[in-house]
Copies of this chain bind each other. A is one copy, B any other.
Amino acid sequence: MMHLRVSFNVLYILSMCLGFLCVMFVCLWSGTWRGGFAWDGSFLQFNWHPVLMVTSLVVLYGNAVLLYRVPLPWSKWWRKVAHAGLLLVAVVLCLLGVSAAFDFHSANNIPHLYSLHSWTGIVTVALFTLQWSVGLGAFLLPWTPLAFKSFLKPIHVWMGMAIFILGLISSLSGINEKLLLTLVGGNGSNTEPYNALPAEALFANSLGILVAMFGLVVLKILFSKEWNNTEFEQESDRPLLADAR
Contact = CB atoms under 8 A, between A and B. Distances in A.
Interface of A: 110-111, 114-117, 119-120, 123, 154, 158, 161-162, 165-166, 168-169, 172-173, 175-177, 179-181, 194-197, 201, 204-205, 208-209, 212, 215-216, 219-220, 223-224
5 contacts: A115-B194, A116-B176, A166-B216, A169-B172, A180-B181
B158 A194 contact: no
Contact of A175 (B116, B196, B212): B116
A215 B168 CA distance: 13
Contacts of A172: 116-117, 120, 169, 173
Would you list the 5 A-B pairs with minimal beta carbon distance, nearest first?
Answer: A173-B173, A116-B208, A116-B176, A114-B195, A116-B205
Contacts of A166: 212, 216
A154 B115 CA distance: 37
A22 to B, nearest CB: 14
B169 A114 contact: no
Contacts of A114: 194-197, 201
Given A114-B194, A215-B165, A216-B165, A120 B177 contact: no
B110 A195 contact: yes
A181 B158 CA distance: 35
A119 B209 contact: yes
Please give the count of copies of this chain that the complex contains. Answer: 2
Contacts of A120: 172, 208-209, 212
A208 B175 CA distance: 17
B111 A195 contact: yes
B175 A216 contact: no
A216 B159 CA distance: 10
A196 B204 CA distance: 27
Given A172-B120, A173-B172, A115 B180 contact: yes
Given A172-B173, A177-B180, A220-B158, A205 B165 contact: no
Contacts of A158: 220, 223
A56 B169 CA distance: 19
A190 to B, nearest CB: 19
Given A114-B195, A120-B208, A195-B110, A165 B168 contact: yes
A110 B168 CA distance: 28
Contacts of A215: 165
